[in-house]
Amino acid sequence: MYFAEENERLRKIVQRIAEANPGKVTSRPVDALLYSVVRASGAERCLELGAYEGTTTLYLAQGVADNDGGRVTAVEIDESNARGARQHLEEAGLEEYADVVVGDSRDVVSGLDEEFDLIFVDTTPSQYLEDYDNARGVLAEDGVLAFNKANDEPELVQRAREEMEALVFEEYGSFLLAQ
Ligand SMILES: C[S@@+](CC[C@H](N)C(=O)[O-])C[C@H]1O[C@@H](n2cnc3c(N)ncnc32)[C@H](O)[C@@H]1O
């Protein structure tokens, strides 16, 4: 096992995406943490809501690949962002580990008929409560549910504290991880 930062190939792709789109991609510590959670928990099924051009998708896909198998479903509402995410997965040689689905997370998740070990939500805070309710419906027992910039939706944080079994991580003023 290695730390996410040691993967030069992904680091270069993600750096390029971040430089071309300042302020739009998930921060590197969050990507690194998610990679580590996938590895440490042995997650096989991951779901990402709000993939943009796939920086986090790459780390989730690398995590399941390094776990010797698994799959990421990444949902993105914007067709051209989804195309970008697919291209970046191909560039990284990770396309077999991820499906990028074009659609609104609020429609797509309620139509999924499988469960996920790890769900990462990074749509937009004004939708987080809906995403939270839908995501809990497809979260496996002992699964991990993570939100980017959770503190931007205080009601989400309050509900997750009350309703989830444990709040295992809260850092960077913005990131909530519960299971
Ligand atoms: C902050 S960006 C996500 C960044 C991404 N996690 C990354 O790895 O860089 C938010 C993304 O969520 C998408 N989005 C917003 N609302 C959505 C929805 N309801 N369903 C799916 N995607 C959505 C936006 O199009 C945008 O690409």
Helix (H) or strand (E) holding 116: strand 116-121
Sign of the dihedral through C-alpha 127, 129, 133, 139: positive
Residues forming a β-bridge with 176 = 147, 170
CA of 159 to the centre of ligand 1 (A): 22
> What does the domain layout of the chain look like in residue ranges?
4-178
pLDDT in tens, 121-164: 999 999 999 999 999 999 998 899 999 988 888 898 888 888 88
What is the predicted pLDDT for the residue at 173?
44
Any ligand 1 atom below 6 A from CB of 55: yes
CA of 67 to the centre of ligand 1 (A): 26
Q: For the beta carbon of residue 155, count every other beta carbon within 10 angstroms.
A: 10
Any ligand 1 atom below 6 A from CB of 123: yes
CA of 88 to the centre of ligand 1 (A): 16
Write the Ramachandran bin of 88: left for phi over 0, alpha for psi from -120 to 50, otherwise beta.
alpha
What is the distance between the alpha carbons of residues 111 and 124, in angstroms, rounded to a whole number? 20
Q: Which of 34, 55, 75, 77 to mutate to test the pocket of ligand 1 (most atoms within 8 A of CB)?
A: 77
Q: What is the pTM of this model?
A: 0.94
Of 73, 64, 133, 139, the residue nearest 102 (C-alpha): 73
CA of 121 to the centre of ligand 1 (A): 8
For the chain (179 residues), the mean pLDDT of every run of 10, in chain order, is 78 95 88 91 96 97 95 98 98 97 97 95 95 95 89 87 70 55
What is the predicted pLDDT for the residue at 170?
59
What is the predicted pLDDT for the residue at 150?
86
CA of 49 to the centre of ligand 1 (A): 7
Any ligand 1 atom below 6 A from CB of 7: no
The protein residue whose alpha carbon is closest to atom 17 in ligand 1 is: 123
The protein residue whose alpha carbon is closest to atom 27 in ligand 1 is: 52
Identify the three-state secondary structure at position 8. Answer: helix
Q: What is the CATH number of domain 4-178?
A: 3.40.50.150
Q: Give Dmax (Cα) for the chain.
A: 42
Q: Which of 21, 49, 52, 62 to mutate to test the pocket of ligand 1 (most atoms within 8 A of CB)?
A: 52
